[in-house]
Amino acid sequence: ANIQDIYPLAPLQEGILFHHLLGGEGDVYLLSGLLGFDSRARLDGFLAAFDAVIGRHDILRTAVLWEDLPEPVQVVLRHAPLPVEEVELDVGGGDGAAQLRARFDARHDRLDVRQAPLLRVVIARDPRSEGWLLLLQFHHLVMDHTTLEIVLEEIASHLAGEEASLAAPLPFRSFVAQARLGVSREQHETFFRGMLGKVEEPTAPFGLLDVQGDGAGVEEAHLELAPELAERLRSQARALGVSAASLFHVAFAQLLARSCGRSEVVFGTVLLGRLQGGEGTEQALGLFINTLPLRVEVGEQGVLASVREVQRHLAELLRHEHAPLALAQRCSGVAAPAPLFSALLNYRHSAADSVAEQIQWEGIEFLHAEERTNYPLTLSVDDLGVGFALTAQVELSVGAERVCAFMATALEGLVEALERTPERPLRQIDVLPDAERHRVLVEWNATAADYPQDTCIHELFEAQAERTPDAVAVVHEEQHLS
C-alpha cells in the first residue's frame, strides 16, 4: 500500500549501483555534509523542514531493489520519513565534528539502498559547546550536486515560512523515460564505435589503472586560477565562438597525454543531463548527470583546430548524454577487464558562493562536505561566472596539488598559443610548471657521488663483489643472481 511507483534506473544510477554492490566495507558514493546548530530547537526545525521536502519529491522517497528481478528498479514510497539517529560523543575525545565524521566515515560505513529514503541523519550534542551537530549522509544514487543545493534552498524556504511559493515538483520517472527511450541502443553503439573502435589501450595517467577503488588513498587540493588567466580564457572562448568548457577539455587532454606518453587520450567527462530535460528541469531533484568517454588527439594538429574539434565532439556527445557508460566502453578495442580510462573531468557551472556560504541561516553553520568518485584522478572545474576554481582528487602517490599545477600550466600555454600562434601543434604545449621542471631536471638528477678516482670501474666492481659476495647483483623476472 505504501508503494507509489516503480520504474527502471537511469544509466548513471546503474553504474553507481554496480560500484555499491562491488564495494566491500565502505561505499565510495555515500556522500556527506556536516552542519552545526546553536540549539536543539533550531535543529528540530531543520529536521521538520527536511521531512517536508522529502514529502514533496519522489526521488527522496526512493529505494533501489534488484534481488530476484530481471533488472534493478527504483521503487518510490508514498511515505518515507527521514531516519534520525542520536549518538553521544566523548567529552574528552576532542573535536565533536571530527568524532562524528570518523564514526560514520563512508570508507567503512554503508547505507542499505533497499530502504527509502537513501538519506540518513545522525545528530549529537557538541561536547565543547551548548550546540548540536548534524551529519547528513546521502547516496549518490538519488542526489547530485545540483540536487543537494535545491534541497537546501527548499529547506530554507520552509524555515522562512515561504513553502507555498515553491514550484510544483517534477517526477523523476519522466527523466528516466527520456534517458532510456530518447535515443536507441543501436544509435548509441554506432556513435561510440566510431569514436572508440580503434582505441586498444587504456589511458592511464601516471600509471593509475584502478577504477574500482573506494577513494581511501585519494587526497584533495584546490586552486583558484589567477583572474588574468581566467579573463584571457573567456576572451578566447568568446572570440572563437566556443565554450570555455572546450578549452578546459583540451588542456586536460594535454595533461593526460604528457602523463601517460600517448598522442591519443580518452577520459571521462561529466554531462549535466538537465540541458535537454524540458521546462523546469533545472529545479528538478534526482541524479541527472552521466559520465561518458571523450577521445582527443594530442598530436600535430594545430591548437585552434584542436579546440574546434573538441567543441564539435562535445556537441555530438550531448546527443548521447544518456547512454550507459558500460555500453560506450564495450564499443572500444580495450579488452576487459582493463578500463578504457582512469581519469575524470567534471566541468560544472557553480554559484560564486559555495554551499557553505549559501547557508546564511540564523543559528546554523555549514561545517564540512565530502564527495568522492571511484576514479584515481578526478579534476573538477568550477565555472564561477567570472573566475574558475580547480579541485583535484588524486591518488596520494601522484599528488593533487601537482595535478592542479599541471592543469594551470596547460591552460596558460593553451591560451598563449591561441593568442599568438594558433597553428602551433597541440603536442608542443607544455604542462610542466617551473617548480616541477626543476624537480625533474635538477633534483631528480642530483646523483653525483664521490668515488676513488685512481681505480678502474672493473676494479671497483671486483672489490664490491669481494665485500658482499652473497648480495643480489642481477634480477630478471623470477631469477636472482648473487
Classify residue 432 as exposed, middle or buried by CB count within 10 Å of its CB (0-12, 13-18, 19+). Answer: middle
> Which residues partner with 381 through β-bridges?
347, 390
* C-alpha span between 105 and 125 (Å, rounded): 19
Q: Which of 214, 127, 185, 217 is nearest to 322 (CA)?
A: 185
Q: Are 53 and 155 in contact (CB under 8 A)?
A: yes
> Which residues partner with 74 through β-bridges?
7, 64
pLDDT tens-digit map of 281-293: 667 888 888 899 9
Low-confidence ranges of the chain (pLDDT < 50): 354, 356
Residue 264 region by backbone torsions, left for phi larger than 0, else alpha for psi between -120 and 50, else beta: beta
One-letter amino acid of 159: L
Helix (H), strand (E) counts: the chain:
14, 16
pLDDT tens-digit map of 308-347: 999 999 999 999 988 888 899 999 999 888 999 999 999 9
Q: Which of 422, 423, 373, 376 is nearest to 260 (CA)?
A: 376
Dihedral in degrees, nearest 10, Cα atoms 320, 321, 326, 332: 50
Tell me what pLDDT residue 276 has: 58
Residue 461: CB atoms within 10 A of its CB come to 11
Residue 383: CB atoms within 10 A of its CB come to 18
Q: Which of 155, 139, 147 is nearest to 282 (CA)?
A: 147
311: CB partners within 8 A, 6+ apart: 242, 243, 246
Report the half-sphere exposure of 171 (CA within 13 A, side-chain side). 14
Q: Are 305 and 381 in contact (CB under 8 A)?
A: no
Peptide bond into 117 cis (omega under 30): yes
Q: How many residues does the chain have?
A: 482
Question: pTM of whole model > 0.75?
Answer: yes
Give the sheet arrangement for strand 62-65, strand by strand: 3-8, 73-77, 62-65
Termini Cα distance of the chain: 76
Tracing cell 522562512 back to the chain, one arrives at 160
* C-alpha span between 75 and 142 (Å, rounded): 12
Which stretches within 200-350 are classed as H helix? 227-240, 244-260, 303-318, 325-330
Classify residue 216 as exposed, middle or buried by CB count within 10 Å of its CB (0-12, 13-18, 19+). Answer: middle
Tell me what pLDDT residue 19 has: 83
- Angstrom distances, CA of residue 3 to CA of 73, 75, 119: 13, 7, 18
* C-alpha span between 323 and 130 (Å, rounded): 50
357: CB partners within 8 A, 6+ apart: 366
Tracing cell 588567466 back to the chain, one arrives at 229
Superfamily (CATH) of domain 3-173: Chloramphenicol acetyltransferase-like domain (3.30.559.10)
Each domain of the chain, given as residue ranges in start order, spans: 3-173, 182-352+370-441
Architecture of domain 182-352+370-441: 2-Layer Sandwich (3.30)
* C-alpha span between 315 and 65 (Å, rounded): 35
Tell me what pLDDT residue 277 has: 54
Phi then psi dihedrals of residue 25, to 5 deg: -75, -45
Peptide bond into 452 cis (omega under 30): no
Tell me what pLDDT residue 61 has: 96
